[in-house]
A and B are shown apart, each in its own frame.
Chain A
């Protein structure tokens, strides 16, 4: 059971909350409190827009334990408009229609069910094609 870990990560996971460095303005995701650009302390919360584009992608048929029911699923590196890249599943799109450069936006979806009898469902960010946005 990993409930504390999922609780700890929920702000990042549900809402793509990262940090901005007060010294060099770098936008940081995942949050880490030490700026990867300048090494300064960076604890200022920053809300990402959730918009970006596909840097690369691949569809997974041989999943790790815990993701069997999701197969096949497509994981992408998404380059956010603010700069950082995130690893995330794509949703609401056929794998054949995904391409590099495709505009996407964040949505919160079920990632998987924690693998034990208490059946905790893990939610987190995924990305969908931006053209579906209203």
Chain B
């Protein structure tokens, strides 16, 4: 099998970068990734972005970012899959290199989230729902999550506070991530007292939508420079599965079918059968309820049982299946189309042994899963360190 190696990684801090533009952020991440790869040059740039046409009045990011990153002339364009746009860019880069058409491909995810606020930001985000049948009723992504959370708590007779374990886990892990937006642990009491934003969800149940960029350079193992300075981390599974865009078009809205199927496909491609064979799982905790439904979809917890299992510490960094090891979307921050590439960068850091104080004791292989909306698309990659 031709191994596709993560040769270079780069990431900016996630946060409110009032003084920085979309292109600044993307170029910083790209240059870091090129530097990290020790001189490899890509022939292709795939940009993952969610909402730049609406939030930044900027389309055609391929030509813009290739030029500004000093790569003028190479093949470049954007792919969009809502919150999973970065993961989609990674997959397109992987396909390009895996096919042999391209020797080295760079995937960059970028979002400039904080240039719009209030109702304009809510409208931009709501275009990610089914515009004719969800947005037209005034639905927003936060409201989609609230609809799922309320039904989930009802069906499994769980207290409202049971979802708090996910943001608590994320915040505790982000303390050790210098690029994270929120590096302060939160207590169960603080969570329980937090203001309700979109009932039954409170302010801690939703990941902060923030600015950021992350980049990954892929190449074939045989093309790595002789003096390549890092342990070799390969992408050994890659799968995209879609579901109905609208929640109402699914027979069981609490079943994250796309998450389940894409995880299965990625595991199978790499020769594994079960999530328990992974050393970690980077899920999409866009909302706390999405963390729960993702864990249940991939088989890491029984249906209705993810909060309870999380409360035993199973998903902490020293647990059976560490999740959100550098803070997840909730505490690292959700930088829109960059998020899927932050997951890839963080997984590469864990597998290379470069995660600093956040380093897992054992990290040979892990699954990263990026959801677009409420798992309207799920893109899963399996990363493994080669021996």
Chain A contact residues, CB within 8 Å of chain B:
5, 9, 13, 30, 36, 55-68, 70, 73, 75-77, 84-89, 100, 111-112, 122, 124
Contacts and interface: CB of A to CB of B under 8 A. Distances in A.
Contact of A60 (B140, B200, B246): B140
A70 B248 contact: no
Interface string B247-259: 1111001000000
Interface string B130-150: 101111111110110011101
Contacts of A36: 244, 249
Interface stretch (B24-32, B101-109, B116-124, B275-283): B116-124
Given A36-B249, A75-B137, A77-B253, A100 B119 contact: no
B151 A87 contact: no
B126 interface: yes
Interface residues of B, number: 36
Nearest to A88: B137
Main secondary structure of the interface of B (DSSP, over half): helix
A54 to B, nearest CB: 10
Nearest to B248: A85
Interface of B: 118-120, 122-123, 125-126, 130, 132-140, 142-143, 146-148, 150-151, 154, 197-200, 244, 246-250, 253
Given A58-B146, A87-B248, A67 B138 contact: yes
Given A30-B133, A100-B151, 9 more contacts: A56-B147, A58-B147, A64-B138, A65-B119, A66-B119, A67-B119, A85-B248, A100-B150, A124-B136
B246 A56 contact: no
A112 B139 CA distance: 13
B248 A58 contact: no
Contacts of B139: 60, 75, 87
Given A65-B123, A70-B138, A86 B147 contact: no
Given A30-B132, A63-B122, A58 B137 contact: no
Given A65-B122, A85-B248, A58 B150 contact: yes
Contacts of B134: 87
A62 B197 contact: yes
Nearest to A62: B122
Contacts of B137: 75, 87-89, 111, 124
A10 to B, nearest CB: 12
A62 B198 contact: yes
